[in-house]
Amino acid sequence: MSSNVLLFLGAFLASAVEAVEALTVVLAVGIVRGWRSTLAGVAAAAVVLVAIVAALGPALQHIPISTLRFVVGALLLAFGLQWLRKAVLRAGGFKPLHDESEAFASEREQAGAAATAAGKRTDWYSFTVAFKSVLLEGLEVAFIVLGFGSAQGKLGLAAGAAAAAVVVVVAVGVVVRGPLARVPENALKFVVGVLLTSFGVFWGGEGAGVAWPGSDLAIVALVGFIALVSVALARELRRRRTALHPAPARA
């Protein structure tokens, strides 16, 4: 039960973060250059992603579960640690925070500066940028969904969580018609990094032959342990950052 909740939460939050990033690019290009080719790029990327999931999902079910958990766990761990590392460095003040408003402004500027496609039916700039952005962010979502779903034998739950996240993010984006700057993206990335890393340790360990004490409940302990280490590390970094660059005294 608790592992299902964590699996849903992990897939939902990871997908939401990726969807926010893709949405920022799509909105910027769509607003500046028009929606027709931009949405065509989004649709083309969605078709490719669905084809990848449809092809790989059933194929993964033919792989022995211990091999699958080892490969998926190791990949999730490598991927999750990268997220966590960046999130800790951001939380500690050693890496600039990811800013969707800034990313939106920069993407708008580039879209405005690119050559226009006057007289042409398809604006290939809009199509390509939207396609690339949705495909790249979507591949990460597909990887997480396939990884979470196949390793735990709950592809439907993971896919449902990802779909729910995309629907929520797109709905909010349509209402706001701007970048989702108020989403606490860095905090979300911290949480997702902790979850991916913990699931990676659990499944990778199981695949390598580990019998976890408490079976599935070990995931909860792993999440707690990784979260504790990460928070302590971020605090220590902040302390050092303050010691290196003390804030000016107020008058």
Partner 1 sequence: MRYVAAFIRFWWSFVVGDDWRVAAGLAAAFAGTWLLAHHGVAAWWLLPPAVALLLVASVAREARGSG
193, two tokens: 């990094």
Q: According to CB under 8 A, which one of 30, 129, 197, 219 is a site residue for partner 1?
A: 197
Least distance in angstroms from the C-beta of 192 to partner 1: 15
Considering only the stretches 21-29, 121-129, 164-172, 238-246, report the one whose residues sit in contact with partner 1 under the rule CB under 8 A.
238-246
The yes or no reply on residue 238 touching partner 1 (CB under 8 A) is no
Should residue 84 be labelled a site residue for partner 1 when binding is judged by CB under 8 A? Answer: yes
Scan residues 18-77 and list those touching partner 1 (CB under 8 A). Answer: 70, 74-75, 77
Query: At a CB cut-off of 8 Å and minimum separation 6, what does 93 contact?
Result: 237, 238, 241
| Residues 38 and 126 sit within 8 Å (Cβ to Cβ) | yes
Helices 218-244 + 2-33 axis angle, to 10:
50
When asked if residue 141 is in the footprint of partner 1 (CB under 8 A), the reply is no
Cα 243 from Cα 220, distance rounded (Å)? 35
Which of 80, 57, 49 is closest to 150 using CA atoms?
57
Smallest distance, partner 1 to C-beta of residue 86, A:
8
Answer yes or no: are the C-beta atoms of 21 and 137 closer than 8 Å: yes
Binding mask 200-229 for partner 1 (x = CB under 8 A): -x--xx--xxxxxx----x---x--xx--x
Structure tokens at 95: 């890496």
Q: Does 124 contact partner 1 by CB under 8 A?
A: no
How many residues line the site for partner 1 (CB under 8 A)?
A: 38
Q: Which residues contact 139 (CB under 8 A, 6 or more apart)?
A: 49, 52
Between helix 2-33 and helix 124-152 the angle, nearest 10°, is: 180
Contact residues toward partner 1 (CB under 8 A) are 70, 74-75, 77-79, 81-82, 84-85, 88-89, 92, 94-95, 140, 143, 197, 201, 204-205, 208-213, 218, 222, 225-226, 229-230, 233, 237, 240-241, 244
